Structure 1
Amino acid sequence: MLSANNQNIYTVSRLNAEVRLLLENEMGIVWLLGEISNFSTPVSGHWYLSLKDARAQVKCAMFKGNNRFVSFKPQNGQQVLVRARLSLYEPRGDYQLIIESMQPEGDGRLQQEFEQLKQKLTAEGLFAPGNKQPLPEHPQCIGIITSKTGAALFDILDVLKRRDPTLPVIIYPTIVQGEEAPIRIAQAIGRANARQECDVLIVGRGGGSLEDLWCFNHEIVARTIAASQIPIVSAVGHEIDITIADFVADVRAPTPSAAAELVSRDSSGKRTGLLNYRHRLNQAIRYYLAAQRQKSQTHQYALEKQHPTYRLERQIQQLDELSIRLQKAIQNYIARHSQMLERTAYQLRYHSPGQLIQQQHYLLKKYEQRYIDAIERKLLNSRHQLALAAETLDAVSPLSTLRRGYSVTQNQAGQIIRSQHDVKPGECITTRVTDGMIRSTVIQSD
């Protein structure tokens, strides 16, 4: 029998707590692509949703401290890329993602690839200032790797012609957009290194969207630039556009025109060197800051895992869940008691004295009408019977006989005279005819 003090016996709370720590410590930060469903925004301002694909789904929470930085309004059915840490909601034992950032699928996926490659090459030291080659103080020949029909090429040539018309220029044309562009750019850099015709290269193109500039974020381009024996100036897009090629190149120019000014000679000569040193210093500072930022993020993540905010986030999520359950319970309670109140009111109306009186009044009216109908039928029947009796009586009435010309004679005593022997001479008699009485005196009876 197991002892009650056996440390291998877990409580549910202890098990969930340890599983949560395992998930958070072992998995760390993950990137996840999925479709939003069950999106909800309680009054607390936090977001709760599920991310799903064709065969599975996972619950997620994004607290308002992070979701306020999301530049779009998430909707059910939308494909997104999220950066999140894996955790476990202990009260229910559900594993979930705590989302720290969210982007639409297209831009988010490219940004994720950019960050992953940047971290990989940083770890390998390709961005380290010690690996950078200085630009020649007095270049003898300039190589340009870009599209032969792009505006960037003409901008570079215009600047070089204005600043130093005698400086030789060799163009290594290549495509700078599309699926084949990374290979073509790498081949052009390799061709320039093989020929050794110039002592500095400008690699770049004009501005465009993230997708347009994506060929300069390819690993093959980055490694080819890093391996180049000829110093390379990266001149991709506008000043706000940052690519992997900018980090790995020996010098980054904000625009193609600026790259031409950087490598060309002018009357003072010192300006070029000063710009070179300034760009190298800016680049070194940028790389140093990037490395320190990466180190700071690592320390910050390790610190955050021990921060009370994690516990506060779980309590906030539990509070939101309890709030939703309370609202539903209140609504159900109100609905249930509203139904009971309606049933009670109906029963009260049904058994109320007014209702009973109304029912009795209705029955009284009904019975009254039945009695009236019965009396009327009785009267009608009696009238009919009376009429029949009157007809029968009239048929045997003496008056009917009188109307046929007969008469009835009575003596003074009111007795009917049926024979001549019933009267005496001088006696007063009365004769009834149909329309009246005739009084006469008997003179003689034979």
Structure 2
Amino acid sequence: MSSLTNQNIFTVSRLNSEVRLLLENEMGIVWLVGEISNFSAPVSGHWYLTLKDSRAQVKCAMFRGNNRRVTFKPQNGNQVLVKARLSLYEPRGDYQLIIESMQPEGDGRLQQQFDELKMKLAGEGLFAQTSKQPLPEHPKCVGIVTSKTGAALFDILDVLKRRDPSLPVVIYPTMVQGEEAAIQIAQAIGCANSRNECDVLIVGRGGGSLEDLWCFNNEILARTIAASQIPIISAVGHEIDVTIADFVADMRAPTPSAAAELVSRDNSHKDQVIASRQHKLASAMRHYLSQHKQTNASLLHRLEKQHPRHQLQRQSQQLDDLDMRLQRGMERYLSSRAQKIERQQHKLQLHSPIKRLNEQASSLQRLEQKLLDAMDRKLLNTRHQLALAAEKLDTVSPLATLKRGYSITQNQQGDVITKASQTKTGDTLVTRLSDGEIRSTVN
């Protein structure tokens, strides 16, 4: 313990910082293939994801400045090829990849193979301008290595017929797409060299995707073109399409039609010489730029290591991490409060007077119904008693007596006349019968 000094004792922060520098400086750029999972894109614009295979996984971050160049929308389950630098997220001690570019696995693998083969052949000098043969100024016979049914062949023949119909043409038909195409093209070039009947060859096809043109990125074909004793013009695809065959050929034409113009004579053949030299100059410039591209990339990588953007990216990632932790904490807090409110509401419902009021209302309704039933019975009983009393009253009613033939006589004052002495001459009497009354005067 006595040999320890303050310099030997690391803090966690210092340890993570040192490990991050080791990872970034020692590993450099790596290429990685994997399946995307746990993909997220917060409002900051950065992407966070996990790349995994069947046995392992690694966390990744792709910052906004780089992910803007991605031409597709990553989704969980996508197989991708990424170019990244290894780093360490110091606050959590997690090692991670900082992704600089991302491609779907198929396109990315082809582009990577293209770049690797290009660097390999360039390093061997196959692209050097000094190894290229000049084109004959006045070709005596032109060979065409392409598909016998492709549009490229007819384009070339149309141009040659228009510009120099007397120029002999030999066609070496071959496949120009698929797994066997590269070998067939190489064999056709070898056949043309062995027969030695042409003094310039046009090798190419029409445009297409990277996969369609892939046979022209074959190493065997590239070495066959470089070894050809006959000058070769590469005419693959359109002007924007670039293949390994273009770099190794003696001349690159932007299209098959342009290649036909290069080998045909007309009144403007001097312009062709200038165009040829321009193409040579452009090819030399491309070769020069290719050689310096790797050096510039290395210098740029070293410069980027010192760029404050990396520190800003790490801080931005930490901010995103804190933001996600805050969101999770808020979600847990709100969930806890919601559960507490739910429990309180349940307790409130258990002690709520609503249930008792409902019970009292039901009891009141039952009592009200009983009262109505009792009133109905009482009313029915009273009606029955009233009917009996009416019947009894009817038996002693004077009206019943009137019906048997009797009558009642009254004076004008309404007094019942029971004796003759109660009347005098001139009085008006009213005699009531069962079906009406009779008015009479006493004489």
TM over 0.5: yes
1:280-359 correspondence runs (5 A):
280-344=280-344
Deviation, 1:341, is 4.2
Per mean C-alpha deviation after superposition, the further-off stretch among 190-199 and 307-316 is 190-199
Deviations 1:25-49 (A, max 9, x none): 2222122111111111111111111
Q: TM-score, normalised by structure 2?
A: 0.76
- 2:12 aligns with 12
Instruction: In structure 2, give the amino acid aligned to 1:116.
Output: E
Q: Check conservation: 1:48, 1:60, Cα contact below 8 A.
A: yes
The equivalent residue for 2:131 is 131
* 1:131-169 CA-partner distances (Å, limit 9, x unpaired): 322211122221211122222122212212221222222
Q: Quote the sequence identity (%).
A: 72
Measure how far apart 1:87 and its partner are: 1.4
Unmatched tracts of structure 1, length 5 or more: 370-446
Q: Report the count of equivalent residues.
A: 366
Secondary structure at the residue paired with 2:39? strand
Matches within 5 A, 1:270-281: 270-281=270-281
User: Does structure 1 residue 220 correspond to structure 2 residue 220?
Assistant: yes
Call closer, same or farther: CA 1:3–1:359 in 2, change over 3 Å.
farther
Letter in 2 for 1:110: L
Give the CA deviation at 1:294: 3.1
d(CA) in 2 for partners of 1:238 and 1:118? Answer: 20
Distance (Å, rounded) in 1 between the aligned partners of 2:174 and 2:355: 100
Report the equivalent of 1:104.
104
Aligned partner of 1:144: which letter? I
Distance 2:333 2:241 in 1: 58
- The one-letter code sitting in structure 1 at the alignment partner of 2:262 is L
Q: Secondary structure of the residue that 2:165 maps to in structure 1?
A: coil
Shift in Å at residue 208 of structure 1? 2.1
- 1:155 aligned partner: 155
Given residue 202 of structure 1, which amino acid in structure 2 is its aligned partner? Answer: I
Separation of aligned partners in 1, 2:354 and 2:323: 50
Shift of 1:289: 3.0
Match of residue 95 from structure 2 = 95
Against the structure 1 CA distance between its residues 7 and 191, is the aligned structure 2 distance closer, same or farther, given a 3 Å change threshold?
farther
Number of the residue aligned with 2:257: 257
1-structure distance, mates of 2:310, 2:339? 44
Alignment correspondent of 1:75: 75
Q: 1:360 Cα deviation (Å)?
A: 11
Q: Go from structure 1 to structure 2 and tell me whether the alpha carbon gap of 1:243 and 1:359 turns closer, same or farther (over 3 Å shift).
A: same
Decide whether aligned partners of structure 1 residues 112 and 64 sit closer, same or farther in structure 2, where only a CA change above 3 A counts: same
Report deviation, 1:227.
Answer: 2.2
- CA drift of 1:265 comes to 1.4
Secondary structure, in 3 states, of the residue corresponding to 1:133? coil
Identify if the C-alpha distance between structure 1 residues 330 and 126 changes in structure 2 by more than 3 Å, giving closer, same or farther: same
Aligned to 1:408: none
For residues 4 and 134 of structure 1, do their structure 2 counterparts lie closer, same or farther at Cα, with a shift above 3 Å needed? same
User: Partner residue of 2:193?
Assistant: 193
Residue of structure 2 in register with 1:444 after alignment: none
| In 2: Cα distance, 1:273 partner to 1:335 partner | 80
Task: Work out the CA distance in 2 between the residues paired with 1:357 and 1:223.
Answer: 94
SS in 1 for 2:135: coil
SS across alignment from 2:81: strand
Counterpart Cα distance in 2 of 1:40 and 1:239: 39
**1:179: how far off?**
0.9
Q: Which SS does the other structure have where 1:116 is aligned?
A: helix
Any gaps of 5 or more consecutive residues in structure 2? 367-443
Which whole-Å CA distance do the structure 2 matches of 1:180 and 1:246 have between them?
A: 20
Within a 5 Å distance, the mapping from 1:21-100 to structure 2 comes to: 21-100=21-100
CA-to-aligned-CA distance 1:45-68 (integer Å, 9 cap, x gap): 111111111111111111111111
Q: Tell me the CA shift for residue 175 of structure 1.
A: 1.5
Where 2:51 maps in the other structure, the secondary structure is strand
Q: Secondary structure at the match of 2:74?
A: coil
Q: State how far apart, in whole Å, the 2-side matches of 1:44 and 1:120 are.
A: 41
Matched residue type, 1:219:
E
Q: Is the 8 A contact 1:81 1:103 kept in 2?
A: yes
Q: Please report the TM-score for the alignment, with normalisation by the length of structure 1.
A: 0.75
